[in-house]
Amino acid sequence: MNNVLVEYLRDENNEPHGCLVGRLIGDTVVIGVSVCHNGMDQFSKTRGREIAEGRIKAGRSSAWRKEDLKVALSGPLNTFRSRCERYFKSDKVEVV
C-alpha cells in the first residue's frame, strides 16, 4: 500500500480542473485540495498536485474557507473521502 492517493476532478468535457490528494499521516488521512477557479486558466496536473500536497504539509487551505470548500466540492469530496477511508483503512479523515 502506498501512503498517498490522488484523484483528478474533471469537468463535463472530461478535462481536469482540480486535484484531491489523500495522505496517511500517522493514523489520520489528510486530504489536500487544489482547484482551478478561472475558466481562462489551464489546469496543470503537476502543479495542481503540488498545491494540494503543499496544503497538506501546511495544514491549511489558503484558497477558501473550509466550509465553502466542503459545500462546493461536496459530491467529489465525499466520494474521495470514502475512497481514502477504504484504502487506508482509517475513519479519521481531515480536509485541509
Q: Taking the alpha carbons of 70, 10, 36, 51 in that order, is the dihedral positive or negative? A: positive
Full DSSP string of 10-26: E-TTS-EEEEEEEEEET
Residue 96's pLDDT is: 82
Query: Within a 10 A sphere around the Cβ of 80, how many other Cβ atoms?
Result: 22
Grid cell at residue 30: 489528510
Q: What is the pLDDT of residues 37-77, one digit of tens each?
A: 766 778 899 999 999 999 899 886 555 555 556 555 678 88
Domains in the chain: boundaries: 4-95
Q: Is the pTM of this model over 0.85?
A: no
Residue 29's pLDDT is: 94
Rounded CA separation 31/52 (Å): 8
Rounded CA separation 95/22 (Å): 9
